Amino acid sequence: MAKGNGFTMSNDSSGTKVSLPKVDFSSFIMSLYSSGLVQLGKVEDPSTGKKSVNFDLARQTIDMIAMLEEKTKGNLTEEENNLLKALLVEIRMAFVEAKT
């Protein structure tokens, strides 16, 4: 599989090239975690500016993070593994708090 140079170039609405941040495992997991917090109504949805709760979608996001933990076992750096475990604990706790 070909590897990129760590960033993607795209055009914004004015046609100007925009440099996007590098995508790595940690940023991917952080993105899933952030989505889960939005789905639990813990933070505002950036697209609407409003908080709303969708437990089914939040549960699916948590399950995806747990699946990644299982599927990547033994293939992560210590830092990535620690981040994954910590975020999974935090999002599960946030789910329990939101349900009560």
Cβ atoms of 46 and 31 within 8 Å: the answer is no
Residue 46, classed as helix, strand or coil, is coil
Indicate whether 92 belongs to any domain: yes
Domain count across the chain:
1
Contacts of 13 (CB under 8 A, 6+ apart): none
Q: Determine whether 78 is exposed, middle or buried from the number of CB atoms within 10 Å of its CB (0-12, 13-18, 19+).
A: exposed
Q: Which amino acid is at 97?
A: E
Residue 58 forms part of a structural domain: yes
Asked whether the beta carbons of 56 and 74 are under 8 A apart, the reply is no
pLDDT at 77: 95
- With respect to residue 14, please indicate whether it lies within any of the assigned structural domains: no
pLDDT tens per residue across all 100 residues of the chain: 445 555 555 555 666 777 887 889 999 999 999 999 999 999 999 889 999 999 999 999 999 999 999 999 999 999 999 999 999 999 999 999 999 8
